[in-house]
Chain A
Amino acid sequence: MNQIPRPHTAYTTAEIRALTRNLLRGCRCIFTAATLLTVAVESKGAGAAGASGPEDWPYSRPVDAPPPEVKSADRVVNPLDAFVLQKLEATGLTLAPEADRRTLVRRLYFDLIGLPPTPEQVEAFVNNTAQNAYGELVDSLLADPRYGERWAKFWLDLARYADTAGYEGDPDLPHAWRYRDYVIDSLNRDKPYDEFIREQIAGDEFEEIMGAGELPSAKPEQAVALTFLRLAPFTEPRGDETRHEMLSEMTSTVSSVFLGLTVGCAKCHDHKYDKIPMKDFYRMQAFFNTVQIAPPERGDIFQIGGPMPADFYREGEKEWAENKRQELHGIQGQLDTLRADFGKRAGSALPDEKQLPDAKQRADQLDDWISNPANEAITAAERKPFLELKEKLPFVKQHLKRLQPVAMTLRHSFGPPYEPGVPVTRVMLRGEYDKPGDPVEAGFLSCITGNSEPAKIRLDPFKRWPTRSRRMTLAQWIASPENPLTARVMVNRLWAQHFGRGIVPTLSDFGKLSGGPSHPELLDWLAHRFVENNWSLKAMHRLMVSSGTYRQSSVAASDRAARADPDNSLLSRSKRRRIEAEAVRDAVLAVSGRLNPEVFGLPIFPPLPEDIAQRVKYDQSKWATDNGPEGRKRSLYIYQQRTLTMPFMQSFDGLVCEDSVPERRLSVTPLQALEMYTGDLVNEEVKHFAARIIKDAGDDPQRRIERAFAIAFGRAPTTAEITELRDEAASEEKLTGLCRILFNASEFVYVD
């Protein structure tokens, strides 16, 4: 509307009013931020002993207050709504009307499984008049394996998941993918969140040791879970310095992901805003100080450290891996068979043994001859599989390595007499590895416990393993109903995903800079329900998406509502939002009908624009391009190469994580338009989308448009839209243009 700057006289009264509104909004935000900063700066250096104030709310246990009484009791679907309505009513507002069913079904699909509903799924829901139709839909989506895929990505961002180590050489982490599958599987089985936490921090310390005998090894699943601690970027190690940085990174990440506290800020000095003294950083770090990583395997030139045994453990996973291995071994065999067959046709076109004694050179010449498109002895159709197999061959070895029954896990050290005992952890002055200060004992954060006592670490009765149970002690403290932060932080993360912003807006920072919760009683109420329901994530999703608050329309109910709640912090409507990068790519493939639904498995390598992989290669490209269906699995399986984010994903704010990412940006840029309009993916998939429309709708232009809208948007086109697009649907040739237009419509990437 107002994209081109004009002299101020050129604005209408209405526009000026809008501008004023925006400005006031801006002012408010700027001043809020400024006030926040002032408060923050004034309280600089506050220690744990400081008096308790309103900013100390995160350190005390959530209060389980009953839902308030509200005027619009008819809008309360579940108690969550009462808390929201209370705030709205205090401002003279109420919830926006419920969204229509078509909007709701689309919203639920994208939210819970990350994919658009098919036209049939939309109609089934819209026409289901049963009282519990909505609840049934929610349940079926939560039971869908694609739920785990959608929400795994959310967790993998937090876990700074990647398939390479980053930095110089960006070496492959061949076993990281098993952690990705662990997350999908855990979510699909609705593993209680407290157990999910314990496995990722202390998967090797589950077994109780009551007597003599050997040290029990971790269960495969729990061993894989521990990969979490090893996912940080890693470069050429330098002894003590690297270990210090590694343990510090674990401390920071565990604290921000599970506790929502920026403990990492206290590595070099007392936390500037929160009650986290530097000493507490090192007391936390001491829980990790017996961590042992297997030494690098021979040939690991980047010294990223070895894997440890971890069998495939999911039902059918072992067989899947075996089949995959066979398939890979078969590539060489198939190539040799094709070469032998084609070779017979060569005749005198290629030199024989006498003319060219070097077997390698003869083999190369044969390959060149087969690959040459001008060679008429071989048809293009025959040549294609040969070239595809040949392309795969260099990556076979790496794939086979990925299929070994091992994990990128770690363990606690054996301790004396085999390995050193518990090392002394010291405060490191200015956070530097070679500036040791006072020794500290492992202990919990004093802002929460109110003291700086050492934690009680329960060893085995004979104290044979003094290095054991340190991380489990920490994990149990975190994953406890008594911990004031753990449940709140997680429900707030889920809330932010479903409602577009957190009750605490900074999802990994509940400290002073967060500005505090917008609905403190609601946050606490949710935290209690979470724990009460045995830390079930699915139960929490169900509670949230079943609420009246979630089911609102995304259009403000009135001008007054829009004015009084401009940034929707009161939740007076649903938050319209752009779908995330993964969902954009997945939706393109789902709509074209070519999405490969296979769940779990090795990283995938979708085709990249021409030479991108070559451009960022180290010695050779790691990108084992899958031109076939393998490369059309869901985006969460895409190889996460730290030196190369797929341009498609990157333009939609997708990223390969370097550190824990609590939420994605959702920006709007011209590069997205270029990607969606001229990019390779879309221009390949429009052909298949068009073919799908023709197959379903035949020749009639209007029926074609109707079918296309049903598939892409889950609704019928309006008369205006039909008029606008009728010409595009007239010929098969133009139909790809129609498909391209729909892929580029705002409606394709925005969910109301």
Chain B
Amino acid sequence: MWTDPSIHHPFQSRRDFLHRTWNGIGALGLGGLLADDLRGNDLLAEVPPVPGDPLRERFQMHGRKAKHCIFLFMQGGVSQMDSFEYKPRLRDLHGQRMPDTGVSGELQGRLTFPHECVGSPFEFAQHGQSGRWMSSLFPHLAKKVDDLAFIHGIKTDNQNHGPSTYHVTTGSQFPGHPSVGSWIQYGLGTANQNMPGYMVIQDPRGAPVNGAAVWANGYLPAAYQGTLLRDKGVPILNLSRPHSLTEAEQRREFDKIKRLNELHLATRPGASELEARISAYELAFRMQTAAPAIVDISGEPESIQKLYGLDNDKIAGFGRQCLLARRLVEQGVRYTMVINGVQIGGDSWDHHGKVQDGMIKKSAEVDQPVAALIEDLKQRGLLEETLVVWASEMGRTPFVNGSAGGTPGREHNSYALCMWMAGGNVRGGATAGQTDDYSLRSLGEPIHVRDVHATILDLMGLNDEKLNYLHAGRIRRLTDIGGHVISEIIS
């Protein structure tokens, strides 16, 4: 890595990096390297963040177009054979027992159900130049297929919602690990220091499974946590001034704080963490003035509001989330997580029963806004520099859920998660991975979630092997034992 000449300050090697920094190009050392704050941890990363200024923007490890990432997370487990995977054979077998697929092992518990096949009740058609098959549930997104690259048959390590949600959002099925956005923040910092670099826009109806742990910083420093964008009142917690203070009065108090802290620092020479603290207060002040405008979408033209479906009650919730995501990208926010679905209730994609009704409801919520997001980013020339990722925590089974009565539903299937990406260096129209005729298992070399994570990092200009952190005696990475970058979908 480090060899792409197209990026403006390629560090060919560690020595080169230090040499250039020595010449005043790099930001390293401005705050003073605090060896004790680092404790040796960050030093394993190729370009360590500056202590006391952990969010300062850093260079990519290799040249990629994407500067931002929008991670769309569909809570519950989207049924891949009712959305993006066309399985005519499954439809032929609808209502019949599933043929012996020879599958056993970890899915055993789930496979003791009567294996009655459920064909998709939805029509499929080919779209775009790539001729991708899409179900009729996604008419808007179908018009964008040539911008999307699909990955099929992704495996997660666990088929319960809690662990698999962790797995897709943090790289480990066990809690306590940093989320994807935290790793990217750790690797790249953020361009606009007046806003947190990692924002979360959750479903207005509530939280995902595992709650705030889904956007936690895990063992990485607190600076890399996701910040919840609030849809009512002030957009970020604690942004509004203490009541009854004018901006001038607050400024005055901030100046007093600064003065006291400078006096304090003066008798403690070289205490760079105290210097960093002084500048953190200035950042906080700027954040207070810059951030509130973000959630005020009244200035968006009617055409844009309509594009996202804000004029339709059923769509407006997610539409607003997607529109806010675009506005955050414009503000230089590095990583935005947009969540659809609450826990695993009726508002999620967890369709153990009535998968037909459920998919109609859920796809209607998101189809138009997601397509609008891609359209809107593209029109503004932002899709070039924004990686958009669609994810869920698992796929679903081709056979009926044993416990569900009424119209059929589908069980969890941790072997057949389907995701797509768009923007940046994503090769639109490409496909990676493949599932069998029933979408029960993947065919060929299975793609693991860590491969997807390695690919996301790669598309953000980061190398999953190099982006590491020493914690509790182990060198940690998002991809744990390392992932394979899925080169088929990269242009």
List the interface of chain A (C-beta within 8 A of B).
1-3, 5, 7-8, 11, 18-20, 22-23, 25-27, 29-30, 32-33, 37, 166-170, 233, 235-236, 238-239, 256, 262, 265, 434, 500-501, 505-506, 508-509, 511, 513-515, 554-556, 562, 566-569, 575-576, 578, 609-612, 614-618, 642-645, 647, 650-653, 657-660, 662, 665-675, 677-679, 683, 718, 720-721, 724-725, 728, 737, 740-742, 744-747, 750, 752
Contacts and interface: CB of A to CB of B under 8 A. Distances in A.
A168 B280 CA distance: 36
B95 interface: no
Contacts of B22: 20, 23
B303 interface: no
A18 B34 CA distance: 12
Nearest to B282: A3
Given A29-B43, A642-B175, A679-B238, A168 B160 contact: yes
10 contacts: A22-B33, A25-B33, A167-B210, A170-B210, A262-B474, A265-B473, A505-B39, A645-B212, A672-B280, A737-B253
A170 B39 CA distance: 33
Interface of B: 14, 18, 21-25, 27-33, 35-40, 43-44, 48, 52-55, 105-106, 109, 160-163, 166, 174-176, 196, 202, 206-207, 209-213, 216, 221-223, 225, 227-228, 230, 232-233, 236-243, 245, 249, 253-254, 256-257, 259-261, 263-265, 267-271, 273-284, 287-288, 343-344, 470, 472-475
B39 A501 contact: yes
A566 B35 contact: yes
Contact of A3 (B53, B236, B263): B53
A509 B476 CA distance: 14
A150 to B, nearest CB: 21
B227 to A, nearest CB: 7
A330 to B, nearest CB: 33
A256 B472 contact: yes
A514 B473 CA distance: 7
Given A30-B43, A610-B233, A658-B213, A167 B238 contact: no
A615 B474 contact: no
A3 B30 contact: yes
A647 B239 CA distance: 13
A617 to B, nearest CB: 7
Given A236-B160, A647-B237, A745-B264, 17 more contacts: A23-B33, A30-B14, A32-B43, A166-B210, A167-B209, A238-B160, A509-B472, A513-B470, A513-B474, A612-B237, A614-B206, A643-B212, A644-B211, A645-B216, A669-B280, A742-B260, A750-B274
B219 to A, nearest CB: 8
B160 A674 contact: no
A662 B472 contact: yes
Contact of B35 (A25, A645, A737): A25
Nearest to A614: B206
Contacts of A752: 268
A32 B41 CA distance: 12
Contacts of B28: 22-23, 26
Nearest to A752: B268
A554 B53 CA distance: 23
Nearest to B243: A683
A259 to B, nearest CB: 12
B263 A653 contact: no
A569 B166 CA distance: 37
Contacts of B196: 671
A712 B233 CA distance: 33
Give 3 closest A-B pairs by Cβ, nearest first. A8-B24, A643-B211, A509-B473
A665 B32 contact: no
A434 B32 CA distance: 51
Contacts of A169: 343
B175 A658 contact: yes
Given A670-B284, A741-B253, A29 B260 contact: no
A575 B207 CA distance: 41
Contact of A721 (B37, B263, B474): B263
Contacts of A724: 256, 259-260, 263
Contact of A744 (B232, B241, B257): B257
A278 to B, nearest CB: 15
A615 B284 contact: no
Contacts of A668: 52, 273, 276-277, 280
Contacts of A718: 263
A23 B28 CA distance: 8
Contacts of A569: 35
Contacts of A725: 256, 260
A683 B243 CA distance: 9
A720 B264 CA distance: 11
Nearest to A609: B237
B251 to A, nearest CB: 12
Given A11-B24, A615-B206, A665-B222, A567 B175 contact: no
B473 A506 contact: yes
Contacts of B161: 168
A58 to B, nearest CB: 12
A513 B33 CA distance: 22
Nearest to A40: B475
B281 A3 contact: no
Given A236-B162, A668-B52, A746-B274, A568 B36 contact: yes
Given A609-B237, A673-B284, A724-B259, A666 B174 contact: no
B270 A2 contact: no
Contacts of B32: 18, 22
A183 B376 CA distance: 56
A241 B162 CA distance: 15
Given A26-B29, A645-B212, A670-B283, A506 B264 contact: no
A262 B472 contact: yes
A650 B213 CA distance: 12
Nearest to B472: A508
Between B52, B225, B278, the greatest number of chain A beta carbons within 10 A of the residue's beta carbon is seen for B225
B44 A33 contact: yes
A709 to B, nearest CB: 10
B30 A265 contact: no
Contact of A575 (B36, B38, B213, B260): B36
